[in-house]
């Protein structure tokens, strides 16, 4: 039983990857963007908590962390959304050409 499961997993690993290069690259970039978004959030909270007493340009450093961190989170999220939409449009355009190869004359 365990041997069969291992054999199935090995067989699945031997199959060629059906994804295109664009899809594989986007998955890697998306992963790094998600990790960086999480790190920005954690760093923003940690720095805001530990730098309350320091002042830079008349504003505390914890406020600067919030001022810089929130737009950075929004920008990273926008890049993720734009990339997902582009990938979805790429997949739709690729599928449409395969589904409807012949156009009727009018």
Instruction: Provide the domain limits for residue 65.
Output: 58-93
| In-domain check, residue 75 | yes
Per residue in 29-64, pLDDT (tens digit) is 999 999 999 999 999 999 888 888 888 888 888 888
| In-domain check, residue 85 | yes
Higher pLDDT, 15 or 73: 73
What's the pLDDT score for residue 75?
Answer: 95
What does 7-30 look like in DSSP terms, one character per residue?
HHHHHHHHSPP-S-HHHHHHHHHH
Higher pLDDT, 18 or 44: 44
What's the pLDDT score for residue 103?
Answer: 61
| In-domain check, residue 19 | no
Count: domains in the chain = 1
CA contacts within 13 A on the Cβ side of 47: 17
């Amino acid at each position: 039983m365990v041997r069969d499961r291992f054999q199935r997993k090995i067989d699945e690993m031997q199959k060629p990857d059906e994804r295109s290069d664009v899809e594989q690259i986007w998955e890697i970039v998306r992963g790094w963007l998600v990790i960086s978004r999480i790190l920005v959030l954690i760093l923003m909270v940690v720095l805001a908590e530990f730098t309350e007493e320091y002042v830079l340009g008349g504003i505390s450093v914890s406020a600067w962390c919030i001022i810089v961190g929130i737009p950075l989170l929004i920008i990273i999220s926008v890049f993720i959304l734009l990339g997902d939409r582009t990938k979805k449009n790429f997949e739709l355009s690729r599928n449409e050409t395969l589904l409807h190869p012949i156009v009727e004359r009018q």
